[in-house]
Structure 1
Amino acid sequence: MHIDDIAPWAHDHSFTAGDTRQAERSTRVVMWITLAAMGIEIAGGWWFNSMALMADGWHMSSHAVAIGLSAAAYAAARRYAGDPRFAFGTWKIEVLAGFASAIFLLGVAALMVVGSVERLLSPQSIQYPQAMAVAAAGLAVNIVCAWILGHAHHHDGHSHAHDHDASHSAHAHHEDLNLKSAYLHVVADAATSVLAMVALAGGWLYGWAWLDPVTGIVGAVLVAWWAKGLVADTSRVLLDREMDHPVVQEIREVIEPPGEPAGTRVTDLHVWRIGKGIYACALTVVTRDAALTPDVVRQRLAVHEEVVHSTIEIHLHPDAATVLPLVTPQS
């Protein structure tokens, strides 16, 4: 059989939705900005003896690595998009980068706690005005970076919009977890910068030197909380734990419509995410309807645009007619 003869039934397995070049460019720009700001904050924290400022700088260094990893993931996903070794495309490279970024965040949170406890046990004098100026500059950088990544997310969301029914779009997961991880790193940076400024202001105005390391611990807890959520989101995708998603029940409902006689049942169903807001499924159906074919099932699934790949196995129940009805071609 010639390859052209089976072309209508063949397709590639690159399921990445839309163009991620905007997100990739934005993460690269933010990476370089973050590296520059990191150097300034670490040097300023060391020179002016502020643990909150130095913790923010080291925190920012991990962000630079993680954001660079996000940019590299976009490039790798694009480079290997046509590689047949990836059964369902390369989108999970981006998710894996998001997971790694979350682990970076947890590690930084732990280092922030250790450094802050050391300063609580061994207090040191701080040059407050200078440290405050450096922290304010770091916050300004974080705001710019957050705007850049937020703009990329807005562009990404519009380019991937679908005309789904409102009930479907309400729960569709169109989130770019790689971009979200980079954005969370920047937001965490901004939060620790604000906390550093609060701590420095308290020490400068009221002599509360203890506020600097305590604020470092509070910032660490906040960063760890955000990281925990990102770990949960990315690991859910990496482990294919999607069977509690509403789309699973919707797939069952279109194959077993409510009110239809109990002649067709889904006996096995597997659903997993293979891109932003898109899914694959493998299912087994037992039916008494001899006219139910894989093509008919695919037509029913077509109402859910988020299901882009399906593997269907149909078994006729022993009570079913064993001969398919004759179809007369229409003129």
Structure 2
Amino acid sequence: MSDAPSILQFPPHDHVFLGKDHDKAERRTWAVIVLCSIMMIAEIIGGALFGSLALIADGLHMSTHAGALLLAALAYTFARKYANDRRFTFGTGKFGDLAGYSSAIVLAMISLLIGYEAVARLLNPVNISFNEAIPIAALGLAVNIASAWLLSGGHHHGHDHAHGHAHGHDDEARKIELGRSSLQVEVFEDRVPPRFRLRATAGALPEAPDITIETTRPDGRCQLFTFEDHGGYLQSRDEIPEPHAFVARVRLTQEGQSHERELEFEEHDHEAAHGAHHRDNNMRAAVIHVMADAAVSVLVIVGLVLARAFGWLWMDPVAGLIGALVIANWSVGLLRDTGGILLDRTPDPRMAEKVRNAIESEGDQVTDLHLWRLGPGHLGAIVSVATSGALEAADYRQRLARFADLSHVTVEVAHKS
């Protein structure tokens, strides 16, 4: 085997690995902080004016809520501000995971404090001012519902997939080299029926009559797509039928020569497409803070109502104890997921297997493979290949170009003698 591996080198490129909704998430988080701050000030001033210690206490509790969200907002802001700072070797996409990990620790501490207070009150019951406590708990629940609505962007799902499909694509946009053009191929379906779209990332956009895409589905059915010019991009005339799982052959005829590239599109359920390495753990942590507070508010309201109605003073601390267990469970899940990312655990074993299969499809061998998360929806990969053929790193990189989530790829090739 040769001792001189070939390493693929490219011109300098950016290392911005932020989530696609980063700016929107940042604005939403700051908006919730403003809401919580207004409520905090109103409760503290109202409590001071009307002599309500419970109202002041809830205002101080709201300040801890705003502080936790401030951690998420600052993570978004710093990640954006330093996204192009070369001191961060692989960008700032992990700022959100670091903030999420820190928030999970705070949540765990909160659950311990609530649990401790609940046990103390079970052993030594205290008198409760029901007429003040219930309205304040209801007010807190209303604020948390409003906060959750703001963080989700004003709709049920926290993303912009406005069309009603419950699915996602493994690779929504691909970059390919075709003739003298570098193209981005995507299945576009934002508020419109799904169609192929082609954009030029380098070189000129081909003429619409010169390019076609033929899809072949697992059952053998084929469909040919032709394109029309929409000014700045080409779009297929026909819609893409469901499901969006097929092999797409992109063909370009240029100056009498034919060029072809093959792309694979896979479709699976929504959670698989937008979970794991697509998940924004910073927003997830912010939402968990809000949901944890809302869950405790609901439990407190139920406990207080039952305690006032039947004299069951023990219901209030029991409700608090249940809330503590719920928060602890959420914090453990967040710690596990963010901790794995910070330690560069392989984020998607299925993607690692796909990368290995793409390289080894013609008999070559992957001798080393590292796959890690750079940020929401962005993966980095280092692949070492042993081959007895004449292929170079650029050839293997082309094979991996169909995986849009691979945002930073290094390929090393060792030629067997």
| Residue 216 in structure 1 maps to residue 320 in structure 2 | yes
Between Structure 1 and Structure 2, how many residues are aligned?
Answer: 303
**Structure 1 counterpart of 2:403:** 304
Q: Secondary structure at the match of 1:221?
A: helix
| Structure 2 residue 345 is the aligned partner of structure 1 residue 245 | no
Q: Name the CA shift for 1:246/1:233 in 2 (closer, same or farther; >3 Å).
A: same
1:236-272 deviation digits (Å, cap 9, x = unpaired): 1111101652110000010112xx4xx4100100011
Measure, in 2, the Cα distance between the counterparts of 1:87 and 1:152: 35
Kept after mapping to 1: 8 A contact 2:366/2:386: yes
Q: How far apart are the structure 2 equivalents of 1:202 and 1:156?
A: 39
User: Within the alignment, does 1:165 sit opposite 2:165 as a pair?
Assistant: no
For the residues of structure 1 that align with 2:341 and 2:286, how far apart are their CA atoms? 17
Contiguous gaps of at least 5 residues in structure 2 = 1-8, 163-167, 173-186, 188-264
Matched, 1:189 2:293: yes
TM-superposed CA distance for 1:129, in Å, is 2.6
* Secondary structure class of the residue paired with 2:152: helix
> One-letter code of the match for 1:114?
Y
Partner of 2:302: 198
Aligned to 1:174: 278
Amino acid at match of 2:397: R
1:110 corresponds in structure 2 to: 112
Does 24-33 or 187-196 show the bigger shift? 24-33
What corresponds to 1:85 in structure 2? 87
SS of equivalent residue, structure 1 residue 283: strand
| Map 1:25-36 → 2, pairs under 5 A | 25-36=27-38
Cα distance change, pair 17–47 in 1 and its aligned pair in 2 (3 A): closer
**Once the two structures are superposed, what CA deviation does each residue of 1:188-214 show, in whole Å capped at 9, x if it has no partner?**
111000000001011110000011111
* Alpha-carbon distance between aligned partners in 1 of 2:23 and 2:311, rounded to the nearest angstrom: 49
Q: Is residue 123 of structure 1 aligned with residue 129 of structure 2?
A: no
Q: CA deviation at 1:61?
A: 4.1
| In structure 2, distance between residues paired with 1:60 and 1:289 | 65
Following superposition, the deviation at residue 27 of structure 1 comes to: 0.8
Q: State whether structure 2 residue 151 is matched by structure 1 residue 149.
A: yes
Report what 1:316 is aligned to: 415
Unaligned 5+ segments in structure 1 are: 1-6, 319-331
The residue that corresponds to 1:265 in the other structure is 365
- Give 1:275's aligned amino acid: G
1:187 partner amino acid: M
Amino acid at match of 1:312: V
In 2, the alpha carbon distance for the partners of 1:222 and 1:197 equals: 16
Q: CA deviation at 1:171?
A: 4.2
Query: When the two structures are superposed, what TM-score results if normalisation uses the length of structure 1?
Result: 0.83
The structure in which a higher percent of residues are strand is 2
**Secondary structure at the counterpart of residue 270 of structure 1:** strand
Who is 1:325 aligned against?
none
- CA distance in structure 2 between the partners assigned to 1:26 and 1:129 by the alignment: 34
Paired AA for residue 398 in structure 2: Q
Identity rate, percent: 42
Which residue is 2:387 aligned to? 287
* TM-score, length-scaled by structure 2: 0.67
CA RMSD for the aligned pairs?
A: 2.9
1:322 alignment partner in structure 2: none
2:141 to 111, 124, 139: 139
In structure 1, what is the Cα distance between the partners aligned to 2:160 and 2:369? Answer: 29
- Using a 3 Å threshold, how does the CA distance of structure 1 residues 19 and 202 change in structure 2: closer, same or farther? closer
| CA separation of 1:256 and 1:57: change in aligned 2, threshold 3 A | farther
Matched, 1:76 2:78: yes
Work out whether residues 23 and 152 of structure 1, in 8 Å CA contact, stay in contact via their aligned partners in 2.
no
Richer in helix (by share): 1
SS of match in other structure, 2:153: helix
Paired with 2:353 and 2:107, the residues of 1 have a C-alpha distance of: 35
